[in-house]
Amino acid sequence: MAETIRTPVFQRYDVLEKIGSGSMGAVYKARDVRLDRYVALKVLPPGLRDHPESLERFKREARVLARMKHPGVASVYDADVESDFPFMVMELVEGENLEQVLRARGPLPVDEVIRLGGEIAEALEHIHCHRIVHRDIKTANIVIGPEGRAVITDFGIAFVASLPRLSHGTLGTPEYMSPEQADGRPMDGRSDLYSVGVVLYECLTGKVPFERGGESLTALTDLLRRILEEPPPSLRSRRPEVPAWLAEVVERCLAKNPNDRFARAAELAAALQPPPVIEVPATAPASPVPATWQPESTASVRSSTILISHAEAVEAVRFSPDGRRLATACKDRAIRVWEVRSGRLLRLLKGPSALSVSFRPGGVYLAAGCVDGVVRIWDVEGERLVQAIHAHTGYVLSVAYSPAGDHLASGAMDGAVHIWQARTGRLVRTLGQHTGYVLSVSFSPDGAKLASGSADGAVRLWDVKTGRLLRRLKGHAGYIPSVAFSPDGVRLASGGVDGAVRLWDVRSGQLLHKLQGHSDWVMSVAFSPDGAQLASAGRDQSIRLWDARRGRPLERLKGHTGAVMSVAFSPDGTRLVSGSTDHTARLWHLGRRTFRPGRWLRWLAVVLLLAALVGLALFFDRLPLDRLSFNRADLTGLFGTPTENNSAVSRRGAGSGSVRPVSPAPVQPLAPPGTHTPGGQRPASSSGPETSSEGRAGSSVLRPAAPRDELYGPGGLVLGHGGYTLVVAVETNRHRAQALAARYRDDGFRVAVLGVLFQGRLTYRVVVGQFAGWDEAGAARRRLVRGGTVPFDTWIMRLQPAERWRVER
């Protein structure tokens, strides 16, 4: 390279003008003579000719940079050395850099800063993926291209820093340096993120956080000292209209400790995504900003208020005991307390990232389980840390106060469940040891029991006073992220990674219901205050409401765009809050049931119609049906009663699917065991025949007796004598009904499939067992439902021998 006093001269590049300079060289606009294109030429300090190893490393780094292809990164075309001067040839991005833009316009609009910050972070993620640290991110090195996009330029310091001999001293622009860069410590991509924080701060306020007082060495030393020791001035004090969440993102970038910043540029880009517009409840003064998203609305669930609570995923949500405040927590090192009515941020509790929160009764104190294994207790009103309990050796995944507020339970990744004295933080006892992470803990309403869900696939019930294991509930396949007691303490809900919610009987440990609806992990479950509803939150981005007593689905709440991690009811049951990985907590308004005259009139009309039909059925039941001109089966079919031949069904009957007709003459009621019938015949035992008197004088017909309480046996149902049975399924497909009946039959049950004409359509009812009375049938139903043998919605059906049945085998 030949040089003049004013501008360098290159063999291939025709230097046109100087467009920038810094401590590590100057940048020129030049024309590539061979390719006839304009380029940016970065001339670096000399010193490579006599160091072959450094020269080879310089070229290797250039090849890495040349492979980077991203719209937010200026391309590197070439790198070489002439006359001992290394230089880079880069893409010439037409436009002004951010330094020029700020000088001309002053602080930029917030929306524009958010967009530019996201573009810079995305470009840095691409650079860091190639294991390059830029080391000189500043407004002068970010050019706003013709399309308005931010483009990172000038990799000069990234080159020079890779050369050991040339990297003595501090490289970079002091105002934008991270503390570790100012102190000469090792750096990684998080150092660039600090510089991005300075750029965002300057774009929002027009000033960098720390300014140099002059050009002297003393001023430079003082600047570096403040970068190392002093916190940056509050961004919102300089520009109050900056949103709190954006100020927190910038503050996190400017953290002194690299571990407290975003781990990657991709996380910063995600945090700078434009959040949804806050929708304020109708009771609060609404702003005229139009909503950008409307949640799906149903008759009982109205629109939700969206709280932009965190820059990262919301891990936990809880209402205060009075329902006026709401706490949200996630991994961004802060817990926020909101006013429910207006959505206003009340308190910001800073500390290590929290994964779970629980209000103490009274609402003054809030416990948080943190990633450093510590349970922290905050005074919410005073916004101060009261106590730090060094509880576990791993993440504290769940905390819960007892109903009386005297105890605090914690579960963690170390597999331990601890109970602490709430006031002093003293360890009361450790409840055994799970074989996997303890993901959730919950006290019973009386405080006597504690439930814990673990990664070992089991729910454990403990006696709080003695620490004794009461019961181990098995059913889930894999992790159990959440458990919750019903308000009456009778039932326990658990959500699993198998996508199922299970309801257990606390006293017996029996499974009451298995609620299927989620297509992914169930991360959280919660009972409504009256115990009538159960809410479940899933990684499938949905919240489901269930009838907690009947085990039936009610509603599906959609709106989150990420996994829903936590859900909770307000104390009055009118609201539901959910926290998600989409960085929002949503407050759902559950509509109260209101009196609707039209609706009640329709129901009254239906009831009166049914009463009239039942009256007609009873009237025709007393008439001599053989004299009527219509088929009685057509009438009784309207009520779901069987329609064809009476029969006795038995495995040992006359062939498969055989039907044995029985005379429809009236039958004497079943006599109690051990008594005589009017015909003089003594009934046999429940497994033998019984004689009954029939209508014709001098004759009697032997007919099998209905078992007193028989569920099991090798034979089928005896339909000729009536009784009661349990309907376990109704199918429209005969083959499905037969397959289900075969499954019950293989388990030893007495089973039949009855063809029933209902509302003009033939359906197939799978029935199990035969009982002489309603009480016996009800007792059997309760026993089988609790054991999980028959579905919860099994009902009792009366078998009337005067009817004609179609029996399917």
157-172 exposure pattern, b = at least 16 Cβ within 10 A, e = fewer: bbbbbbbeebeeeebb
Give the pLDDT score at 293.
30
The phi-psi region of residue 174 (left if phi > 0; otherwise alpha if psi is between -120 and 50; otherwise beta) is: alpha
Least confident span in 240-249, 297-306, 779-788 = 297-306
Give the pLDDT score at 707.
55
Whether residue 165 has pLDDT greater than 60? no
Question: Could you tell me if 622 and 656 lie in one domain?
Answer: no
Q: What is the pLDDT of residues 13-58, one digit of tens each?
A: 888 888 776 555 678 888 888 888 888 887 776 655 556 666 666 6
- Residue 382 within any structural domain of the chain: yes
Question: Could you tell me if 453 and 476 lie in one domain?
Answer: yes
Q: What is the CATH number of the domain that holds 43?
A: 1.10.510.10
Question: Could you tell me if 140 and 232 lie in one domain?
Answer: yes
Whether residue 518 has pLDDT greater than 60? yes
Question: Could you tell me if 263 and 327 lie in one domain?
Answer: no
Question: Could you tell me if 767 and 790 lie in one domain?
Answer: yes
pTM: 0.45
Domain edge (last residue) among 558, 590, 622: 590
Whether residue 376 has pLDDT greater than 70? yes
Question: Could you tell me if 305 and 269 lie in one domain?
Answer: no
Of residues 46 and 234, more confidence is placed in: 234
Whether residue 688 has pLDDT greater than 90? no
Question: Could you tell me if 326 and 226 lie in one domain?
Answer: no
Residues labelled catalytic: 136
- Residue 568 within any structural domain of the chain: yes
What percentage of the chain reaches a pLDDT higher than 90? 27
Q: Which DSSP letter does residue 217 get?
A: H
Q: What angle do CA 335, 337, 341 make, to 5 degrees?
A: 155
Q: What is the pLDDT of residues 259-279, one digit of tens each?
A: 889 888 888 887 886 544 333
Give the pLDDT score at 721.
67
Question: Could you tell me if 350 and 407 lie in one domain?
Answer: yes
Give the pLDDT score at 708.
59
Q: What are phi and psi of 24, to 5 degrees?
A: -110, 30
Question: Could you tell me if 613 and 640 lie in one domain?
Answer: no
Provide DSSP, 585-610: EEEEEEPPP---HHHHHHHHHHHHHH
* 690 Cβ neighbours under 8 A, 6+ residues apart: 677, 681, 683, 684, 702, 703, 704, 705, 721
Whether residue 718 has pLDDT greater than 80? no
- Report the distance separating Cα 411 and Cα 744, nearest Å: 41
For residues 660-687, give the mean pLDDT: 34
- Residue 286 within any structural domain of the chain: no
Domain extent at residue 537: 301-590
Q: What are phi and psi of 125, to 5 degrees?
A: -60, -40
Question: Could you tell me if 324 and 183 lie in one domain?
Answer: no
pLDDT confidence tier of residue 120, bands split at 50, 70 and 90: very high
Question: Could you tell me if 662 and 539 lie in one domain?
Answer: no
Beta strands in 529-628 (DSSP E): 533-538, 542-547, 552-558, 564-569, 575-580, 585-590
Structure tokens at 164: 């050991």
